[in-house]
Amino acid sequence: MKRWLLWFLFAPQFFLLAGLWRDLGLPPLDVGVLLCMFLAMFAQRSALPWLLLGAAAGRAIVDEAGLPVQLLVLGIPVAVLLPLRSWFFGQRWIWQAGAAALCAIAIPKLAGLFGRVFQQPSQSASLDLVSVIWAALLLPPLLSVLRWLPPLVAFEEEA
């Protein structure tokens, strides 16, 4: 119970911290990509639906699109990467960098698509090459550190 409370309290805050990170002039960090990577590669499979709900709720706080749109935007990359988990398992950073770049491209594209389909425009629907490069370079090492901290450590699947 404690781990779920921590997840639903802190997962939405990651998105707010990314805004603070950007306001300080640091390189852009897409928390949606970070959480998709964690969910697809390291999270317990039985907990994925609820973890995805917490991540989508956090993204819905900082974006104009509603929770159902955010579930689709974050859920599709997780569903695509999940079968590849056995190849990506562990600290193979080159694979993680490639998957992070693909997620950084797919998430804005999906946000734009579903925003148009459901008439809920998303401010995160613009694709930025700089954020894709930073996602590929920054997210694998950041994810390796965050996996050891709460609330992510409570949901990591045992090898």
Check: pTM over 0.95? Answer yes or no: no
Specify the 3-state DSSP secondary structure of 43: strand
Residues 131-158: tens digit of each pLDDT: 999 999 999 999 999 999 989 999 998 8
| Rounded Cα gap, residues 122 and 116, in angstroms | 9
Give residue limits of the domains in the chain.
2-150
- From residue 110, how far is each of 49, 58, 139, 143 by CA, in Å? 19, 17, 20, 23
Residues 88-139: tens digit of each pLDDT: 665 588 888 999 999 999 999 999 999 999 999 888 888 989 999 999 999 9
Residues 31-72: tens digit of each pLDDT: 999 999 999 989 999 999 999 999 999 999 999 899 999 999
